[in-house]
Amino acid sequence: MLHISIGYSGNPLVTVLEQSIIVSNTVPNSVSVGFTVSSGLVSESHKVIDWAFTSVPLPFLPTNKGFEKKDNIKTIVIIVTTNFMILLVILISCMFLPSVLRKLRNQNQRDLDIESRSRNAANAPKMFTYKQLSKATRNFSKENLLG
């Protein structure tokens, strides 16, 4: 219950606000409560004559430690199993990686052998470099087109 009364010195208090407020949804668990006044340029004296503040403690929620232990064991089992599976995949990959690399290397070597044989064959066309073609055509002029 919020109850605000004001009064001048020597006069009875006049209630200006009396309201029931539920602040649990808007106010954090720990707050500072105070007041402030202003009188502009005029000098005045303000006093808090009475202050009452009550709160209701939060209900106690019991924790089930047995469930926490079971959850911790499940979490540990899941983490260990996942790490073991990842390690197993890495080990299997490392076992097969050399043979896969060897096959790729052999395939590349065969491709290079076929290419070099076709270049050296008797009926293979002669290969020219860019520099040789540029020199023979006088820098690719229209008067010296080849072919």
- Given a cut of 70, whether residue 26 has pLDDT beyond it is yes
DSSP letter at 126 equals P
By the 8 A CB rule, do 24 and 32 touch? no
pLDDT for the residue 86: 96
Q: Which helix (H) or strand (E) holds 20?
A: none
- Tell me the whole-structure pTM to 2 decimals: 0.31
By the 8 A CB rule, do 15 and 8 touch? no
Cα 131 to chain center, whole Å? Answer: 55
- Given a cut of 80, whether residue 137 has pLDDT beyond it is yes
- Given a cut of 80, whether residue 68 has pLDDT beyond it is no
pLDDT for the residue 90: 94
Q: How do the domains of the chain map onto residue ranges?
A: 48-117
Q: Rounded to a whole number, what is the largest CA-CA distance in the chain?
A: 127
Phi, psi torsion values for 48, nearest 5 degrees: -100, 115
pLDDT digits (tens, 9 = 90+) for 80-125: 999 999 999 999 999 999 888 898 888 878 777 777 777 777 777 7
Provide the residue type at 83 as one letter.
N
Cα–Cα distance, 23 to 57 (Å, whole number): 13
Comparing 83 with 135, which gets the higher pLDDT?
A: 83
Cα–Cα distance, 13 to 7 (Å, whole number): 4
pLDDT digits (tens, 9 = 90+) for 35-51: 677 777 777 776 777 76
Average pLDDT of the chain, as a whole number: 78
- Given a cut of 80, whether residue 63 has pLDDT beyond it is no
pLDDT for the residue 110: 78
Tokens 């820098």 belong to which residue? Answer: 139
